[in-house]
Amino acid sequence: MRTDSGQVFRLEDYKPSDYLITHTDLLFRLDPTATLVTAKLSVKRRDGVAANAPVVLDGDGLVLESLSINGMPVSDDRYKATPDSLEISGLPQEASFELEIVTRISPVTNKALMGLYQSSGNYCTQCEAEGFRRITYFLDRPDNLSTFTVRIEAKKSEAPVLLSNGNPVEQGSLDSEWHYAVWHDPFPKPSYLFALVAGDLGSIHDTFTTSSGREVALGIYVEHGKEPLATYAMDALKRSMRWDEERFGCEYDLSVFNIVAVSDFNMGAMENKGLNVFNDKYVLADPETATDADYANIEAIIAHEYFHNWTGNRITCRDWFQLCLKEGLTVYRDHEFSADQRSRPVKRIAEVRNLRALQFPEDQGPLAHPVRPRRYKEINNFYTSTVYEKGSEVVRMIHTILGAEQFRAGMDLYFQRHDGQAVTIEDFIACFQEASGRALTHFALWYHQAGTPRVNVTSSYEADTGDFVLNVEQSVPPTPAESMKKPLHIPLAYGLLGPNGEDMEVGSVEGATVADGVIHLTEGSQTVRFRGIGSRPVLSLNRGFSSPIVLKQDLTKEDRLFLARHDSDLYNRWEAINALCVEALIAASTSGSYDFDPALVQCLVEMASNESLEPAYRALALSLPTEADIAREIGSNVNPDAVLAARSALRLAIGSAARDAFGRIYDAQADRQPFSPDAASAGKRSLRNILLDYLVAADGSPELASRQFEAADNMTDRAAALSVLAHQYPQHEATQKALSAFEERFCDNALVMDKWFIIQATIPGAATLDLVRGLTAHPAFSLTNPNRVRSLVGTFASGNQTGFHRADGAGYRFLADTVIALDKHNPQVAARLSTAFRSWRSMEAGRQEKARKALASINEVPNLSRDVKDIVERTLG
């Protein structure tokens, strides 16, 4: 395990390597405890590098078996091998030579799930970011592009299926027991995109014909018996391939594309060239076991990994500081795909809710870092919501600033100019500047400056002149190691609503660049004057959430209700009602008095009943801000118990006021058709299930939820009913009965048991900690499987405000103990889990002190991994 050495990696220290590995020939002789890896590397000294410069290769926990150059063993005095590096000197005078390295590794004992490991008896690899160095010594950095030929030898009984990157070349039998396969990937790639899978797997197959008429063989490999569960993923893959051709002109390049689902996986999925490896949670689905959210995630992640083929693989990152180059851009692309496949406004609202729930707290807490960080101790800790989601928002802003056409021209130039290269954010931005002829120098600060910008807007209407005047101020609060902030280029899409609710014509504007419905802020303080406005307008600002900012406006309650009813921008209609709810909930939780404005309740009921809005949208309007949302808006001295009480009171007030209307809509949305996962059907279910939550609250009885639970013919409705039962009536007999029935029915399905864990881990209240502790001993739970850990412990820590932040600090203690235990075998997941502490300073004083103690107790453990040490130290600040 890599412990903390105090080493910090800095962007400004980037230096190309002295040598390149241009071709990599690998031979794997697979064995659970003693796999032999023979790497034949074509090494090339770069021009201008002295002939006596040593080759220094990365390793991680490796044992060297043998070493030769151009077929001759290397004498002991010419190399130094440690588990973490291999340095060879006295190299041939010629600029090119062949290096052969043999290492021995043990996949079965690899519980960190990086490098080559076993999952359910199948061999698989995960190499991003620095896992390849756990397989062989290598230039394990993304700017070393190498072609790969891979020969896998394995026992036929153990691994009938042998897969690697690229195209299949050859396969055959070695003797009665062993066989082999050879794969060749002609596209030069960095080592993080290497993959190998070998095992006894079932599969489904299909084909895709690309825009230029080439046929691609598609395969999805899963555990035997699960083949039918992969058909939705296959369909999503084909739709992704078509969409990328139509939208971005990106055509697939190999003759095969394979996906493998594994059950032990540290993250969502991985875009290895031609051989994506997935967490099975994001492949397997049928109506019995998967929710609508699962289907949507599968579609999005299949697309995401596929899209990486161009944004990540054909064009990759020069170094890991550039991670957002591939991730932010690819998230943007998968968001656009989902918006096109489903509903654009619904998708946008979900994105913003997610951004605020995950990225905002990161950007406003001790782990804040720029979209392109300048330093790191452990790169695995930078696969963050800031790099991914804020990275995507930055690309979206480029689209907003340039418009669709120039944006596409910039992308085209990027693909054309940098295909086959490892590049930087500067290279990326230059393409948009050149293609559009517009300067993005100021805009680029979004990549370099951490923190969520605050924009404060006050407005006045001058009736005598017909001027509508905005005073706009922007600022970015200080973040760790960055106290001085500069104003950003913030594109604010906007509209002015007239008294009839329609957008007014806007004449001339002074004080800022305004074009195509977008105000471009560039200064700390600006006055924007709209001329010739006939009557006082209502301002709809940051439409579509055009910039990822915290916006404070001087809108009145009536203005917001007006926007919620009339804004032509559906995103801002939702934002208006959401802002009203947040405001009401903050007031209620700080005052403890729960008399909610009937006008707010009335507006929500209207939106729920408005047939001109699609059901999924109406469901979002009715989804109250979460406890974490409210806590974040309160910002400091948070008492989670008061927040929960206020939220429950508002739910009850709305449910009671609208009991009859909601009951009618609930009945009307019932689907008499056979289950279909399409967006429209899913939207109906989401509306019905949010209404169920209100109805059960208003009824004061679990009856309706029990009925839905028993009648459900799909997992969406079943899990929603179980969740309402457990969260509203945790002690009720009906809940206990439903939980047991669910457990009995699905105890053999690990992914479904995850839902059972999640529902229980998120039951509000102090008592849940003991429940969660008890569940860690459940036969379906395992500390070595990341999905189980995330479902039970991760969800408890990040999704249960009153449970995790228990006043006595026992929730913090529990998380600390779990992080310490997990760190011994899986540092990456342990580090991710420990980020749940990041908002500890926003709690009231008593809880803060207890959280600090729990963090300090982790920090004191000897031999902590570099991963956990880095997070804990930064969180303590």
Catalytic (active-site) positions: 305
Q: What is the CA radius of gyration of the chain?
A: 28
Q: Report strand pairing: 96-105 vs 64-69.
A: antiparallel
Indicate the residue among 395 and 753 with the shorter CB distance to Zn ion.
395
Q: Look at residue 143 and give the partner it binds from ligand ARG, Zn ion, none, a contact being a CB closer than 5 to 8 Å depending on partner kind.
A: none
Indicate the residue among 129 and 620 with the shorter CB distance to Zn ion.
129
- Which of 34, 41, 43 has its CA nearest to residue 65? 34
Beta carbons of 165 and 185 less than 8 angstroms apart:
yes
Name the β-bridge partners of 125: 116
Three-state secondary-structure class, residue 694: helix
Indicate the residue among 128 and 336 with the shorter CB distance to ligand ARG.
128
By beta-carbon distance, which residue lies closest to ligand ARG? 383
Task: Give the phi and the psi of residue 120 in degrees, each rounded to 5.
Answer: 50, 40
Minimum separation from the CB atom of position 698 to ligand ARG (A): 42
Binding mask 298-317 for ligand ARG (x = CB under 6 A): ------xx------------
Among 128, 351, 378, 614, contact with ligand ARG (rule: CB under 6 A): 128
CA angle 239–242–248, rounded 5-degree value? 125
Minimum separation from the CB atom of position 304 to Zn ion (A): 6
Residues 380-407 as b or e (16 or more Cβ within 10 Å = b): bbbbbbbbbbbbbbbbbbbbbbbeeebb
Indicate the residue among 263 and 553 with the shorter CB distance to ligand ARG.
263
DSSP 771-799: HHHHHTTSTT--TT-HHHHIIIIIHHHHH
Indicate the residue among 282 and 468 with the shorter CB distance to ligand ARG.
282
378 binds ligand ARG (CB under 6 A): no
380 binds ligand ARG (CB under 6 A): yes
Indicate the residue among 31 and 327 with the shorter CB distance to Zn ion.
327
Beta carbons of 304 and 267 less than 8 angstroms apart:
no
Indicate the residue among 259 and 638 with the shorter CB distance to Zn ion.
259
Name the β-bridge partners of 387: none
Q: Counting beta carbons within 10 angstroms of the beta carbon of residue 321, is it exposed (0 to 12), middle (13 to 18) or buried (19 or more)?
A: buried
CA distance 334 to 394: 14
Minimum separation from the CB atom of position 388 to Zn ion (A): 7
**Cα–Cα distances in Å, from 366 out to 38, 58, 574, 677, 681?**
44, 31, 30, 40, 41
Q: Look at residue 25 and give the partner it binds from Zn ion, ligand ARG, none, a contact being a CB closer than 5 to 8 Å depending on partner kind.
A: none
Name the β-bridge partners of 521: 490
Q: Look at residue 837 and give the partner it binds from Zn ion, ligand ARG, none, a contact being a CB closer than 5 to 8 Å depending on partner kind.
A: none
Q: Which residues contact 583 (CB under 8 A, 6 or more apart)?
A: none
Beta carbons of 30 and 152 less than 8 angstroms apart:
yes
Beta carbons of 582 and 632 less than 8 angstroms apart:
no
327 binds ligand ARG (CB under 6 A): yes
Task: Give the phi and the psi of residue 251 in degrees, each rounded to 5.
Answer: -105, 145
Indicate the residue among 641 and 867 with the shorter CB distance to ligand ARG.
867
Minimum separation from the CB atom of position 267 to ligand ARG (A): 4
**Cα–Cα distances in Å, from 496 out to 492, 499, 817?**
13, 10, 54
Return the biggest CA–CA distance within the chain. Answer: 95
Minimum separation from the CB atom of position 868 to ligand ARG (A): 14
Among 28, 232, 282, 383, contact with ligand ARG (rule: CB under 6 A): 383
Q: Look at residue 129 and give the partner it binds from Zn ion, ligand ARG, none, a contact being a CB closer than 5 to 8 Å depending on partner kind.
A: ligand ARG
Footprint on residues 286-345 left by Zn ion (CB under 5 A)? 327, 330
Q: Look at residue 28 and give the partner it binds from Zn ion, ligand ARG, none, a contact being a CB closer than 5 to 8 Å depending on partner kind.
A: none
Name the β-bridge partners of 674: none
Count of residues engaged in binding ligand ARG, rule: CB under 6 A? 11
Q: Counting beta carbons within 10 angstroms of the beta carbon of residue 64, is it exposed (0 to 12), middle (13 to 18) or buried (19 or more)?
A: middle
The tokens of 829 are what? Answer: 């997941």
Q: Is the peptide bond before 129 cis (omega within 30 degrees of 0)?
A: yes
Three-state secondary-structure class, residue 646: helix
Footprint on residues 111-140 left by Zn ion (CB under 5 A)? none
Q: Look at residue 823 and give the partner it binds from Zn ion, ligand ARG, none, a contact being a CB closer than 5 to 8 Å depending on partner kind.
A: none
Among 129, 161, 551, 644, contact with ligand ARG (rule: CB under 6 A): 129
Indicate the residue among 196 and 603 with the shorter CB distance to ligand ARG.
196
For residue 372, give the DSSP letter: S
Footprint on residues 403-432 left by ligand ARG (CB under 6 A)? none
Minimum separation from the CB atom of position 371 to Zn ion (A): 14
The tokens of 655 are what? Answer: 């449910």
Binding mask 231-270 for ligand ARG (x = CB under 6 A): ------------------------------------x-xx
Contacting positions for ligand ARG (CB under 6 A): 128-129, 267, 269-271, 304-305, 327, 380, 383
Contacting positions for Zn ion (CB under 5 A): 327, 330
